[in-house]
Amino acid sequence: MSDLTITRVEAIPYRIPYRKPLKFASGEVVHADHVLVRVRTAGGLTGCADAPPRPFTYGETQRGIVAVIEDVFAEQTIGLDATERSRLHARLHRTVGNPAAKSAVDMAVWDVLGQAFGQPVTRLLGGYTDRMRVSHMLGFDTPTAMAHEACAMRDRYGITTFKIKVGRRPVELDVEVVRALRNTLGDKVELYIDGNRGWTASESARALRQLADVGLTLAEELNPADDVLGRRWLVEQCGVPFVADESATTPAEATRELLGGSATALSIKTARTGFTVSDEIRSLAEGLGVEVVMGNQIDGQLGTACTVAFGAAHRSTSARAGELSNFLDMSDDLLTEPLRIVGGELIAPTSPGIGVTVDMDKLAHYRIDS
Ligand SMILES: [Mg+2]
């Protein structure tokens, strides 16, 4: 047994309320009902990562994540050396699904490795830059309320890129929102839309026609990828990169969506592909010559630290603004030092490992298993 032998894996469910619910076409989030995953080693290191269940997208629940880690993944992980990442990966992927649970185990092990080598994981992953521009995601509301939120984010944090949740019926409801945002914020900000599969192909095409003069930069999952021909028809006429998000959660799915003409860009979320599989998807995207966006699985600060650590590590993942700000909607968080968005940017933590520390008092307060 070495100092880096993994001796314990814990899955701790916790609940932190949001200040305001985030609503979108496929669901709504009122509380952060996440699972903190902790990996301990024989030498006394502790790695942490966050697993945010998204039952409406991936089928995982908070209790399900705790159960699969305690019943399956812990046993597969304990006894491995933290440097045996590929072996860990092979073991975890004997089980289908469970993307957030697998990813949190993967990233907690990377956290241990960074601490062991005295390096921030962003350096171990690639070390391209130290920061990312931030994109803020706007959930469903009235045009006035969404424009007000965007202005507040711009004025307070310097954010100038906004992802607008769309996919409501009639499409004119969302078209009006996008127009209101453009009119209020002017031409200096970047706007793009995410439908979370809420529209049909023809509704999506109608919305894109109505928004042709608004200057959107991306369109994401406007209709379901399972509408295979409808999706291909839509992507062919879409004038901007069409991002596959929940339809491309593995390298194989990403390959199928891109080669099948159902997408022309990819969203990468460390919450569902960890650092290890996110890097496989990044390599795939670079090899095939498509753009990527660092997405947000409605992450808290720990999850956001992982996203910016990965995103800043590579040229392709840091080229566009990353979705890094939705932790601002939470009423509290678990970290000792809050992440700070300044001048529209978030700097990847510089301490060894993922580079953040969980506040034990806060964890004791918000955990729901004791
Ligand atoms: Mg999305």
Q: Respond yes or no on whether the N-terminal peptide bond of residue 55 is cis (omega within 30° of 0).
A: no
Give the domain ranges of the chain. 6-118, 123-347
Cα distances (angstroms) measured from residue 37 to each of 9, 68, 193, 343, 347:
7, 12, 32, 32, 23
163 catalytic per annotation: no
Q: Is the pLDDT of residue 92 over 80?
A: yes
Examine the residue annotation and report whether 71 is marked as an active-site residue of this protein. no
165 assigned to active site: yes
**Is the Cβ–Cβ distance between 268 and 294 less than 8 Å?**
yes
For 123-347, CATH gives 3.20.20.120
Catalytic residue status for 245: yes
Does the structure show a pLDDT above 80 at 188?
A: yes
Tell me what the mean pLDDT of segment 305-330 comes to. 97
Mean pLDDT computed over 335-351: 98
Per-residue pLDDT at 27 exceeds 90: no
CATH code of the domain made up of 6-118 = 3.30.390.10
Annotated catalytic residue, options 62, 76, 115, 297: 297
**Ligand 1 centroid from CA 295, angstroms:** 7
What is the number of alpha carbons within 13 Å of residue 247 lying toward its C-beta? 28
Q: Annotated catalytic, 362?
A: no
Q: Give the residue from 97, 94, 53, 99 showing the smallest Cα distance to 76.
A: 94
In degrees rounded to 5, what are phi and psi of residue 26?
-105, 0
Q: Helix 171-185 crosses helix 201-210 at what angle (to 10 degrees)?
A: 30
Q: Residues 245, 279, 299, 329: which is the catalytic one? A: 245
Q: What is the pLDDT of residue 142?
A: 97
Tokens 């078209």, residue?
A: 175
Q: What is the distance in A from the centroid of ligand 1 to the CA of 7?
A: 36
Interval 333-342: pLDDT, tens: 999 999 999 9
Using an 8 Å Cβ cutoff, are 281 and 312 in contact?
no
Q: What percent of the chain has pLDDT over 70?
A: 100
> Can you list the alpha helix ranges (DSSP code H) found in 300-367?
301-312, 315-318, 360-366
